[in-house]
Every structure is written in structure tokens, then in C-alpha cells.
Structure 1
Amino acid sequence: MTWQNALHDYQLYLKIERGLSANSVQSYTRDVEKLILFLEENEIKISPKNITDETIQQFIYHISKEVNARSQSRIISGLRSFFDYLIFENYRKDNPTAILETPKIGRKLPDTLAIEEIDLIISQIDLSTPEGERNRAMLETLYSCGLRVTELITLQISDLFFPEGFIKVTGKGDKERFVPINIETQKFIAIYIKQIRVHINVKKGFEDTLFLNRRGKQLSRNMVFMIIKELALKAELGKTVSPHTFRHSFATHLLENGADLRSIQQMLGHESITTTEIYMHVDKSFLKAVVEKYHPRK
């Protein structure tokens, strides 16, 4: 078994059996590709079946000079998954990453925006332009529904169920979920569709795509990042703001106003409640208020 054969089979496994998105598959295989490159550069001729923990440790020591602890941890996790797959397919009996210690990393709390800061960013949009109406609808949707940027740009008109008050979101691994959408955001989307989008020369294949660029095609992830970055600079917030910041803020504001974690987990599309817990940065005053409100011994 060659490394390339093993990597190709692993990619198919991630895509077909685990149902991961193209971005996730690429992220997993990138870690293995780093190991392959290390072996080639050092002329270490060893197969995926026979590589030892000693060689893996040499590789980790090598990359530790180039990347931070968080990246090292991610690479080790990616390799562990790859070798678990080889064990699953009976190519190996052991995982050479099993004895590796993952670098200790501090918990990185997500950035968030106050409601006033979100309003300030949105107020910077030039609504005299067609793109302005589109951008307002996009940002309101990001904050109103807590979407990932990929979920936003792939949102379809047929995914809008306004009479019921929901939108259908296709998340990681093509898993679908229904997320509530408020009346105000529905209004901004309707304005964009009826007054702006109707005048765009929509290219074939994008007839159902909600948010379009000037050429009538789906917006790119980078374009959404750029739009938000420019608006944040105009607002002079002094913060790094991205599409994910709106998602963090959506979840945090729900939690601070009394929403339960399970409901937030469902709306964010997290498989594990643990992910949702890490996502939140709950201050002690909020936790104190929860105990005072709900515990029988107040």
C-alpha cells in the first residue's frame, strides 16, 4: 500500500461513509499530506502499514518548530483519525499516534459583538446601491439565524419557508436543519428578492441561489469576509470581525437572554452539546443569575 493509495481511499471514506463536506475532507487529508512530505524530504521509505510511533514523533518534533501548539494539536488529531481508519480497514493493528501527547492549549474564547456593535456595522451599509440591499439582507440573516458563511452563500430561495417562520439550512456533511427566522429579517430578504435580485441576469445553475454577485452567480466565501471586514473598519470598532463573529454573537445573545443550550445546539447544527458549550463564553454574572432564578434554594 502506497501513501497516495491510502490517502485516496481515506478521502472516499470521509466523504461517503462519514458524510463530511469537501472542506472537512481537505482539512483531514492536509495533515496526512504534511507527514508524506516530511517522509519524502527526509528520504524515509516506509509504508502507512509499517510506519512507527518513533517516525511519527520525529515528524511532530519537526513541525513543532514551524507551527503553534493549536496547529500541532490539530495535526495530531488528523493523523490519529487517518490511522484509526487503517485499523478499521484491517491494514494495521495499532495506531502509531496513540502515545503522542497533545500539546496543552488554552481555551480560545470566541469574539463576540454587542447588539449595538452589530447595529453599527449594519448601519455602515450604503443602501443606495443594489449591493447594499443584498448586504443588509445577508448580515441580518447571519445574525438572525446564526449561519456559517458556507450555509449563507448556498442558501436557496426554495429553502425559505416564511409563512412558517423558518429557513432550511444545509450544514456540514449535507445535514439539513430548520432554523427560525424573524419577521424583520424576512422583510429585508423580501426587499432584496423583489427589488434587487429580480433585475440581475442570473446565470444558469444559480436560478435558485438566494444571494448573487453582480455577475449573477453565487457569492464566494472570501467576498462575504471582505464585505464584513470593510464595514467593521468603517464602524471603527477596533475588533477583527468575520462572518463567524455574527454566528458567535447569535448564540451568545440567545444564551444571555435565557435560551437553553440544547435549543442553541439544534439551531447551530452542532452534533455534540460539548461543541456548543465551548462555543459559548458565559460570564459568571449570567451563571449566578441562572442559579438564582431556577434553583429551589434561592
Structure 2
Amino acid sequence: MTKLKIEDFLLQNYSEQTVKSYMFAINHFLVMNPKAKRYKYRNIVEYMEEIGKQQTNAKYRVVILSAIKKYYDFLIMSGYREDHPCRKLNIKVNSNQAVQVQDLFSSEELQLLMTRENRYENLDTRNSVLLNLLIYQGLTSDEIIRLNVQDIDLDAGTIYIKASSNLNNRRLQLLAKQILLFSKYINEVRPRMLRSATDKLIITKLGKSIAVNSIHAMIEPLKPLFPDKNLNPKTIRMSVICNWLNEEKLALEHVQELAGHKWPGTTEKYFKADSLQQRELINRFFPL
């Protein structure tokens, strides 16, 4: 087994940056555990307990355990093992700790969601609008179903999001490439789909207001794109917020405003430690 082969396996589902982080943790694990190929559940638990004694930050322990799980996924795929010694092993993360950003989706991965086509043109356009709202504006399912046509200002290129008990109201910019799509949907497609009077922006194929479970059903066929990740409207939104902070490097207060978070601490949870920081932490507590 070579490093290149493991990398190729990981690159099938993850970005290059994510693979680099995983590979560093995997290589470190293998150097410290030369018999890891034959390890049982107990061995992995003991290793993670040792890490826990030195590193109390659950965020980094989750990164290390995630990498170890990928190593055993690779062994099974390669025929070296038939069982996975730690698939069900998890690290408890308190709600006030950081979001596990390594399990989210990069901007490139989110773009793959836009490649799916529907055989019905009206639904294809509607689904594109819905996906746009998820992957570019980072809206929640509840916010999407509460949108009215009047909330979209095509002339100004903005969308108004109403406040809820958990999130602030906000006015977000539409991307230039969204204007034409939204205009087509609002002025051409949506009127053809309507069956009864409603101001709701997103409607079903039967012309009625859409429900949250319908949004989840629309995402369901896209899950095979990421078999090792949990794809749903919530993780899409979380990924968008994470990418605003870590890929686009937007200011914390700006991301807080875009996401509608009431408190900056909620937004801070999405900060991702870069690869260098992860390596420094691992080397500090487990030097080779």
C-alpha cells in the first residue's frame, strides 16, 4: 500500500486540501502504530484515549479519528480487511464547540449539485432556483418555504429574508448569474405551474406551496454524489457558512450578517484550523 494509492482513493470524494489534512494524520498514525493494519476496536479506542489526555480540543481529535476511519475504509476497499474496527466509534462534541467542518462540503463540491437535470423543464428551473438559494445564499429550508415572490427584487438584485425566532432578517445580494434564472422562473415558469393563488416563491409541481419535506426529497437523489457524507439542506447551509469564512476569507461580522446569526459565537464555530495548525497540534502532543 502506498501513499499515492490512499490519496487516489480519498480524492474520489474529497478536495485536495481535505485529502492533505487526512493524509498527514494517517501517516502520523501509521508511524506511531506500525501494526495498525491489524488493529481492533480496542486498539483504536486506546489510541484516541491517549490523544484525549494530551489534546482536550475535540475538534482536532475528530479530525484525527476521521482520518483513521478513512484509512480503514481504504483497507477494506483494497481487500486487506473485511471488517472496519472503528466505524461506529465517535467523539462526543459539546454543543458549544466548533462545527465539524471536515465533514462539510467545499464550494467545488457544492457546485456538483447543480449538474443534475430534471426531465420536466418547469421542475428543472424550479429546482435550480431552490439549489441556488441553498448553495449561494445559504438559506434554511424554513426560510425558503417562507419566501414570497415580492421578496425578490430583480431590479436591485437582492432577496429579503424574514426574521425567525432563531435568525435575524437580512437582505442578500443575488449573484449576477442568478438574475436571469430567477427572472425566468418568476415571469415564465412559475405562472405555468400555478394551480391556485399563492405568493410563495417556491411551489410544487402541482402548483401549491412547497413544504420542508419536499425540499429534503429534492435533495435525496443527489446523495449518491457524496456516499461518505451527510447531504441535506442543513449541511449545505453549514458548508456555505464555512466556505464564506475559510475559502472566501470574509470577515466574521460579515458572515454573521449573511447567515443571520444572532450571536458572533455561533459564526465562530465554523472557523477551520488550517493544515499547518493541525500539523503543529499533532506534532506538539505526538512528536515523531
**TM-score (normalised: structure 1):** 0.55
Query: Is 1:105 the equivalent of 2:94?
Result: yes
- For residues 62-112 of structure 1, what are the alpha-carbon distances to aligned partners after superposition, in whole Å with 9 as ceiling and x for unaligned? xxxxxxxxxxxxxxxxxxxxxxxxxxxxxxxxxxxxxxxxx9737452542
Counterparts of 1:185 and 1:246, CA distance in 2: 18
Q: Return 5+ residue gaps in structure 1 as ranges.
A: 1-102, 289-298
CA positional deviation for 1:163:
2.3
Distance 1:133 1:127, change over 3 A: farther
Query: Is 1:273 the equivalent of 2:276?
Result: no
Pick from 175, 182, 204: which aligns with 1:182?
Answer: 175
- Give me the identity figure in percent: 23
Pick from 146, 150, 156: which aligns with 1:154?
Answer: 146
Preserved contact between residue 106 and residue 239 of structure 2 (Cα < 8 Å): yes
Query: Is 1:239 the equivalent of 2:232?
Result: no
- For residues 23-68 of structure 1, what are the alpha-carbon distances to aligned partners after superposition, in whole Å with 9 as ceiling and x for unaligned? xxxxxxxxxxxxxxxxxxxxxxxxxxxxxxxxxxxxxxxxxxxxxx
Query: Is 1:222 the equivalent of 2:203?
Result: no
Preserved contact between residue 166 and residue 178 of structure 1 (Cα < 8 Å): yes
Counterparts of 1:104 and 1:253, CA distance in 2: 21
Distance 1:104 1:116, change over 3 A: closer
Query: Is 1:257 the equivalent of 2:248?
Result: yes
Counterparts of 2:155 and 2:181, CA distance in 1: 15
Count of aligned pairs between the two proteins? 182
Preserved contact between residue 153 and residue 218 of structure 1 (Cα < 8 Å): yes
More deviation in 172-181 or 242-251? Answer: 172-181
Partner residue in 2 for 1:191: 184
Counterparts of 1:229 and 1:242, CA distance in 2: 8
Partner residue in 2 for 1:136: 128
Preserved contact between residue 232 and residue 241 of structure 1 (Cα < 8 Å): yes
Distance 1:203 1:276, change over 3 A: same
Counterparts of 1:202 and 1:122, CA distance in 2: 27
- For residues 170-218 of structure 1, what are the alpha-carbon distances to aligned partners after superposition, in whole Å with 9 as ceiling and x for unaligned? 13238521112111122222222233211123423x1x21110122221
Q: Return 5+ residue gaps in structure 2 as ranges.
A: 1-91, 279-288
Counterparts of 2:111 and 2:93, CA distance in 1: 37
Question: SS at 2:190's partner residue?
Answer: helix
Counterparts of 1:269 and 1:168, CA distance in 2: 12
Distance 1:228 1:209, change over 3 A: same
Preserved contact between residue 117 and residue 237 of structure 1 (Cα < 8 Å): no
Q: Which structure has more RCO (C-alpha within 8 Å, separation ≥ 6)?
A: 2
State the one-letter code of the partner of 2:265.
T
Query: Is 1:121 the equivalent of 2:113?
Result: yes
Partner residue in 1 for 2:68: none
Counterparts of 2:275 and 2:210, CA distance in 1: 40
Preserved contact between residue 229 and residue 240 of structure 1 (Cα < 8 Å): no
Counterparts of 1:242 and 1:104, CA distance in 2: 20
More deviation in 264-273 or 127-136? Answer: 127-136
Preserved contact between residue 122 and residue 193 of structure 2 (Cα < 8 Å): no
Preserved contact between residue 160 and residue 170 of structure 2 (Cα < 8 Å): yes
**TM-score (normalised: structure 2):** 0.57
Counterparts of 1:104 and 1:232, CA distance in 2: 25
CA positional deviation for 1:257:
1.6
Counterparts of 2:194 and 2:173, CA distance in 1: 30
Counterparts of 1:155 and 1:134, CA distance in 2: 14
Question: SS at 1:163's partner residue?
Answer: coil
Counterparts of 2:272 and 2:226, CA distance in 1: 26
Counterparts of 1:184 and 1:271, CA distance in 2: 29
State the one-letter code of the partner of 1:105.
N
Counterparts of 2:207 and 2:182, CA distance in 1: 17
State the one-letter code of the partner of 2:236.
F
State the one-letter code of the partner of 1:195.
E
